[in-house]
Structure 1
Amino acid sequence: MPSMTVMSTTAIPDHVRGALTRWMIEPTPGLYVGTLSARVRDELWRVVSASIGSGAAVLVHPEANEQGYTLHTAGERRRIPLDFDGLTLVAFRPEEYTVDPRSRGDHVL
């Protein structure tokens, strides 16, 4: 049964954007929304994650769990999804700390 699917992308190749717009609308640049079957959704995600290069993508679709949806990511970004007792939470990947020479040795981001 088709269900609402949302995909957000950053810096993906043009041919991948073309594949996505065949099945979904793009209301703002990089945001794709559509009602897809699980088979089409999974195939699109396979294409996107295999072609991501230096870009990034996030896929959200309904799932039979406590939150009512599941989240998939591809590519490297600062926000990373974490499983916390069955709930998906988003954490920030820590940046490398550097010492500011003007400070008292405090670490700054």
Structure 2
Amino acid sequence: MTIVVLTAVPPGLRGHLTRWLLEISPGVFVGYLSARVRELMWDRVIEFVDDGRALLVYSVQGEQRLAFEVHGHDWTPVDFDGITLMRRQTVPDYVPANRPPRKREPSERPAYEGAAMRDETVWKRREARRKFRRK
């Protein structure tokens, strides 16, 4: 089984892939291909993808029974003790050099039930109505 996922690619590339694979959703193609056809097709995808992204998932023999190929993607396949995992690039949090990170303080509001009670203005209005009714 072969799966190709395309994002922001020229329409001609999507039409080209329909020669071998079935498009089940916009940009998602599935089908059965030989290894040779799959490699040639992937070379063609890389050639025409431009600024878009492409992801190829296909069946192989082994523990996981599948392998990944990516192009123009933030996530990269990484071998971890024989298992292929997808690693996402993370952006480190920006902390100015002259200021330590801000510590979160516990909320000072009482924990009322219901989302409307958490809104301070709604709570004040309800208190004003109760006082008005008592008079």
> Could you say which TM-score interval applies, normalised by the shorter chain?
0.7 to 0.9
Q: 1:70 aligns with which of 61, 67, 70?
A: 67
Q: CA RMSD in A?
A: 1.9
Structure 2 residue runs without a partner (length 5+): 103-135
TM-score (norm. length: structure 1):
0.80
1:34 aligns with 2:31: yes
Q: Following superposition, which runs of at least 4 residues in structure 1 exceed 2 angstroms of deviation? A: 96-100, 103-106
TM-score (norm. length: structure 2):
0.66
For the 8 Å contact 2:9–2:50, the answer to whether it is kept is yes
> Cα offset for 1:84?
0.6
Aligned partner letter, 1:72: E
Q: 1:19 aligns with which of 16, 27, 34?
A: 16
User: Per the alignment, in what secondary structure is the counterpart of residue 54 of structure 1?
Assistant: coil
Structure 1: distance between partners of 2:20 and 2:34: 10
Structure 2: distance between partners of 1:30 and 1:95: 27
Number of residue-to-residue matches in the alignment: 100
Structure 1 residue runs without a partner (length 5+): none
Identity %: 39
1:7 aligns with 2:7: no
Larger RCO (CA within 8 A; separation ≥ 6): 1
Structure number with the higher helix fraction is 2
